[in-house]
Every structure is written in structure tokens, then in C-alpha cells.
Amino acid sequence: MRFVCKGQGQALLAFRQNAIDRHILRSSPEDPVFATTQNRQSCTAKFSENIRSVIATLFYCPDCRKELSADINVCPDCGTNIRTFWNETDYVDKLINALGHPEPTTPIRAASILGQLQDDRAVEPLINLLEGARDIYIACAAVEALGHFPTDHVLKLLQEVADRHPVLMVKEAAAMQVSNMVCSLHESASAPAMDSHTLSRIATHR
């Protein structure tokens, strides 16, 4: 699986600068004032304000992820009633849905909150996020969130990630969570039993 590090934020910055440069190049070459640093800064500020207003109006269908405007109540592609979904879905399920959001910072924030809430409904969706992530930062966010669920199942999964994941950053994040979790499990009277092989592998990452 190929992992990508660049998010949409970098793409927007590149898009913004290209648009500014195109605007400058379209200006009259006889106008020396337009090419000054002060004018470029003014143009950049105006464009930044415009791009913020555009981003603020971008929404996605919670089912098919089609990009929609804020005033659309029913998705024209899949027929999902968006207003009903947001009004009737509870907070945790909304966060779980956000794990599949196409804008990369949204799954990261959702994973972080789900980890803090420690609602068991989030475990399998977080595992799915980790296993399907192509962005290493999303994968790390899933690992860190799963670290808040100190169960034998999650512990063994994270140990597997620490041993075999192809990206060092994700491997190290998983190893750290394994170390934290095993300490927590040993301190808990209700800690699930772990076989000697699992404990031995955990010890190598402490």
C-alpha cells in the first residue's frame, strides 16, 4: 500500500499561490506598482479571505461523500436525508462517520476525540481506519486512539502493527501505545490474561 504525507492543506496553499501568480501575470506589464511586494501581500490577504469563505461552505454527504453546498438537505446522488442524519445521529456515531471524511484532518480530529471518549463502539471503526489508511498521519491518529482501549484484542493488534507495519512512524507510534497499554493492564485488577509469547514481544518495545 502506498502512503501519502501531503494533505489538502498543502494543496490549497499551492493553489492559492498559483492563483495569486496568475492574477499578477494577467496584469499590465506597464504597471510597475502591481508587482511590488506590498501589492502581492494585499492580493494574498484578499485571496486567503476568499478561500476561507469557500472552505466554510464545503460539505459532504455522510453516506456517499459527494461534495455538497450547505443548503442541500437530501443528497442528489444517493438520496440520503442529510438533515435527518445529523439531527437523529448521536455524537459518537457522528464521530465514527467522520472517520471516513475525505478531508484528511477531519478523520484525525475524530479519531482523537473517539479515543478520549473511550466508547467501545469506536474500536472496530478505528481498526478499519488504521488498516485502510493511506495517509501516515491518519494511521498514527488511529493508533493513538486505539491506545485508549486497553483490551487484549487491541493490544495484540497494535503489537502486530509495531512489528510489521511498513512505515517507521506508524510502527513507533504503535510501539509507544503498546508500552503504555501493558503498564495500564498490569496495574488493573481486571487485566485480561496474556500468554508468555505476547508478553515477551511486548517487552521488546518497552
Q: Which of 11-20, 104-113, 179-188 shows the highest mean pLDDT?
A: 104-113
More confident residue, 72 or 125: 125
pLDDT band (50, 70, 90) for residue 168: very high
Cell 469563505 locates to 53
Question: Is residue 82's pLDDT more than 70?
Answer: yes
Positive or negative, the CA dihedral 2, 150, 115, 173 is negative
Q: What is the pLDDT of residues 7-42, one digit of tens each?
A: 444 444 444 444 434 433 333 344 444 444 455 556
The per-residue pLDDT for 6 is 44
The per-residue pLDDT for 70 is 79
Going from the C-alpha of 81 to that of each of 19, 84, 206, the distances in angstroms are 36, 5, 49
Sorted by where each starts, the structural domains of the chain and their CATH numbers stand as 8-56 (no CATH), 60-88 (no CATH), 91-203 (1.25.10.10)
The per-residue pLDDT for 113 is 96
**Alpha-carbon Rg for the chain in angstroms:** 23
Question: Is residue 142's pLDDT more than 70?
Answer: yes
Positive or negative, the CA dihedral 170, 176, 178, 180 is negative
d(CA 138, CA 117): 18
Instruction: Of 202, 110, 112, give the one whose Cα is nearest residue 156.
Output: 202
Q: What is the pTM of this model?
A: 0.64
> Picking from 57-71, 111-125, 164-178, which range would have the lowest pLDDT averaged per residue?
57-71
Which grid coordinates are listed for 173?
A: 507510534
Question: Is residue 191's pLDDT more than 50?
Answer: no
pLDDT band (50, 70, 90) for residue 114: very high
Q: What is the mean pLDDT of residues 186-194?
A: 56
